[in-house]
Amino acid sequence: MKHDKVALVTGGARGIGLGIALKLADTGFTLAISGRRTAEQTHVALEQIRRHAPSSIYVQADVTSAADRRRLLSAIEEDLGRLDVLVNNAGIAPRIRADVLEASEESFDEQIATNLKGPYFLTQAAASWMIRQQQSGPRLHRTIINICSISATFASVNRGDYCISKAGIAMATRLWAVRLAEYGINVYEVRPGIIESDMTAGVHAKYDALIEQGLLLEKRWGTPADVGSAVSVLATGALPYATGAVLAVDGGLTLPRF
């Protein structure tokens, strides 16, 4: 398969991010993946991606750092020459789940910096580059996809800072969709539900029981590949005329029912 488009997936070397990266590589994208871990720690994941997209790269970068965000995009431009899709996937859960009456300011700051501020300003920089590409060459399909969470609307009082950060991402999707429409850059939100990953490992037994009791319409855990499939639909332009849309990948969890 010819790989002539480039997608950046932050946090793309593990969990949901890796599921997204593998699916995009399989559908014709060269991948740039980023994260806080070293290149050595992400070698196995990158080799998996390169089986489908040989020119793919890994850039160690922390989205909370303005300098790292600049360096990340510069590395992609130098090595791959273009950017067609940005997937803001990097995110963290609270280190300690704490009731909102007791949660720390330090945890709040970390959640907002990683889950909201970093993606917001990476989008700003990447969108500016995409606009320059649109203005200097053919007007191509370019896309920004925010990986959000059902926690954008579900209140979890023992991780309020996480919920607030994801609610912010949901609004950021709307803002960027409005602002970038004139340049032909579509912006979407993918909202996963209960996905089997390292982030949910500590609550596996809890959700096993809830799923068995009928929490979901589709009676199974979601997988990173499920999220990857949804992202691929949006990244390839297979869902036209829908910028700003929210695509729930939650097995029916959020569908109101009696």
pLDDT band at 197 (very low <50, low <70, confident <90, very high): confident
Mean predicted confidence (pLDDT) in 179-204:
91
- Catalytically annotated residue among 58, 120, 162, 188: 162
Q: Is residue 115 over pLDDT 70? A: yes
Q: Is residue 20 over pLDDT 90? A: yes
In order of their start, the domains of the chain are 5-249 (3.40.50.720)
Q: Are strands 85-88 and 185-192 parallel, antiparallel or unpaired?
A: unpaired
Per-residue pLDDT, 203: 80
The tens digit of pLDDT for each residue in 117-155 reads 999 999 999 999 999 999 999 999 999 999 999 999 999
Per-residue pLDDT, 202: 75
Per-residue pLDDT, 28: 96
The model carries a pTM of 0.96
**pLDDT-above-70 percentage for the chain:** 99
Per-residue pLDDT, 1: 59
Per-residue pLDDT, 204: 85
The tens digit of pLDDT for each residue in 61-90 reads 999 999 999 999 999 999 999 999 999 999
pLDDT band at 219 (very low <50, low <70, confident <90, very high): very high
Per-residue pLDDT, 2: 57
Contact indicator for 10, 17 with CB cutoff of 8 Å: yes
Per-residue pLDDT, 3: 67
Q: Decide if 183 is catalytic.
A: no
Mean predicted confidence (pLDDT) in 12-23:
98
Mean predicted confidence (pLDDT) in 149-167:
97
The tens digit of pLDDT for each residue in 84-103 reads 999 999 999 999 999 999 99
